[in-house]
Structure 1
């Protein structure tokens, strides 16, 4: 029988592969952000920052998009608000709701993160070839969405 460690070296499952990719991307992104002066951000903040729009996003939408519980998103928004990256504003479409909006520092961080992620993806596209990388991303997105739908059906 193959050990779990051996299997993870030679034929890792989707969870292991996705985790390795996530942690490697987060490590590169947050290390580069820290070098640009955003050293107060942590990988967990990515659950909010990755889905933040300049116009603002409702916390319930951040939870849905990131797959995190609303309470986790609320805690992360509180942290990012204390750090000066976001502010809560009334949603003009529904005065009962709040939008999580980036501050000037938040907008600057978003631009820096986008440049870092574009460079990371460009590196992989050059390595694999643009067509192969585009096919990989399309297949990966399909697997992710199929998995999310399967989990949603069970909830």
Structure 2
């Protein structure tokens, strides 16, 4: 069966979407019903040390204002808290709350479960081959957190 060139990016995007949709359905069942796909990028960019809106915007490829609005949303739903910067009291640092850390920890376990399900469906050898092939054609750096800015959706 021959495929047209446009099918490859659509299939890769669809595979991503299937995984993310399944992740979020399971996160909702596990006590995180308000978290959205973009929030994962934001929480990864905030990281264990926290981030200012300026730093977050830079990491995500969006404006400081867009990053600040997202911090507001994550703060309102309990994933992030703002604390004074110990080095500059004019700045606020967004930090993950225990609830935010719980969401990231659960996400990692759920992704492991999803991968195991795909291995059951495709076979471990085929899934490893797919992952190996994707490593050959993609940059080594997995953490391209600027996807929100690239999509222009934040």
The TM-score with structure 2 as length reference comes to 0.69
Structure 2 residues without counterparts, runs of 5 or longer: 147-154
Deviation at 1:112, TM superposition (A): 0.5
Structure 2 residue 136 is the aligned partner of structure 1 residue 119: no
Q: Secondary structure at the match of 2:32?
A: coil
Distance in 1, Cα, partners of 2:77 & 2:33: 11
Distance in 2, Cα, partners of 1:140 & 1:72: 28
Structure 1 residues without counterparts, runs of 5 or longer: 1-8, 149-155
Distance in 2, Cα, partners of 1:131 & 1:119: 19
Task: State the match for 1:38 in structure 2.
Answer: 32
8 Å Cα contact 1:63/1:73 also seen in 2: yes
8 Å Cα contact 1:124/1:133 also seen in 2: no
Larger RCO (CA within 8 A; separation ≥ 6): 2
Task: State the match for 2:71 in structure 1.
Answer: 77
When the two chains are superposed, the root-mean-square deviation of aligned CA atoms in Å is: 3.3
Distance in 1, Cα, partners of 2:76 & 2:104: 17
Residue in structure 2 matching 1:137, options 132, 135, 143:
135
Task: State the match for 1:60 in structure 2.
Answer: 54
Distance in 2, Cα, partners of 1:95 & 1:15: 46
Aligned length: 139
Cα separation, partners in 2 of 1:141 and 1:128, compared to 1, 3 Å: farther
